[in-house]
């Protein structure tokens, strides 16, 4: 079991595929009991630099993961209710980019601090 968030994610961390990145995100969510949302996704486009194989393997040029309690999460009306439960402005984020002329995804910036306790709840 991983003992700290820095063991999951760190600046300039390299991923050889989107699947590799997504597997780590899911592991983080499970063990840390935090829910992340994939935001600001920009898919790779067909051009000279991006072969079909790279587009299928990397999928995105830019991805930003944010905490469920981040300022941009609004949820459905049923989830938010009138209490603004999800609006805690949690600063946690991970920005991932595909560097120019590279065949990998890389964490460019991140803030691993949450401003709330671990809160994932199982649905009934």
**11-35 mean pLDDT:** 93
Q: Model confidence at 96, in pLDDT bands (50, 70, 90)?
A: very high
Determine the pLDDT at residue 88: 73
CA 100 vs CA 56, 104, 114, 124: distances in Å: 17, 10, 31, 45
Mean pLDDT for the chain?
81
Weakest mean pLDDT among 39-48, 56-65, 91-100, 104-113: 39-48
Q: Residues 37-72, buried b or exposed e (16+ Cβ, 10 A)?
A: eeeeeeebeeeeebeeebbebbbbbebbbbbbbbee
Q: Decide which of 40 and 16 is more confident.
A: 16
Determine the pLDDT at residue 111: 93
Question: Phi then psi for 19, rounded to 5 degrees?
Answer: -60, -40
């Amino acid at each position: 079991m991983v003992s700290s968030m820095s063991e999951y994610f760190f600046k300039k961390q390299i991923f050889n595929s989107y699947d590799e990145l997504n597997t780590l995100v899911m592991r983080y969510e499970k063990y840390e009991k935090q829910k992340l949302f994939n935001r600001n996704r920009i898919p790779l486009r067909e051009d000279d630099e991006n072969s079909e194989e790279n587009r299928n393997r990397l999928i995105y040029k830019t991805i930003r993961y944010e905490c469920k309690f981040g300022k941009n999460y609004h949820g459905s009306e049923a989830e938010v209710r009138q209490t603004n439960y999800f609006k805690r402005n949690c600063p946690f984020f991970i920005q991932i980019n595909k560097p120019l002329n590279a065949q990998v995804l890389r964490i460019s910036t991140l803030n691993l601090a949450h401003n709330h306790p671990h809160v994932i709840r199982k649905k009934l």
